[in-house]
Amino acid sequence: MSDDNRFFEQPVLNSPYEYPEQHWELDDQGQPTQQIVHRRRPAEFITPIPKPRKRKVETTQQHMIFDEGKGLSTEEQEYDPTSNINALRSLVDAWRALPNPNQWQVTPETARLLQH
């Protein structure tokens, strides 16, 4: 595995069945730095794109407005759900840290499934 393409040769670092503990670092242009960061990545809308073999002019990654035709976002004001996603993740992390299943505030059947 070459050091230049490790990100694209092995983009998935975490098991889908476990808490994400690491991610590939991306620079300001969304390019992989080939460094692994040992924590969960904050939610962001980014798409890493391989660098072209030759660059004529230095460019930055274009910004897309996620509106889906509903009028929620414009060029001047963009609806950005990432702060809500990151807040929800911290609440879920706090919930997961509760040691006693009686504190989970779920039905006994759900508690049994979660312990499975």
* pLDDT number for residue 35: 93
**Residue-range definition of the domain harbouring residue 36:** 1-47
| Cα 111 to Cα 105: distance, rounded to the nearest angstrom | 9
Q: For position 109, what pLDDT does the model report?
A: 94
Q: Which residues of the chain have pLDDT under 70?
A: 1-4, 46-79
Please check whether residue 83 lies inside any domain of the structure.
Answer: no
CA-nearest of 30, 28, 21, 24 to 10 is 24
5 in any annotated domain? yes
Q: Does any domain span residue 76?
A: no
CB 43 within 8 A of CB 85: yes
13 located within any domain: yes
Contact 45, 66 (CB under 8 A): yes
Is residue 86 assigned to a domain? no
Count of the separate structural domains present in the chain: 1
Please report the pLDDT score of residue 14 as a whole number.
94
What one-letter code names the amino acid at 45?
F
Q: How many helices (H) and strands (E) does the chain have?
A: 3, 2
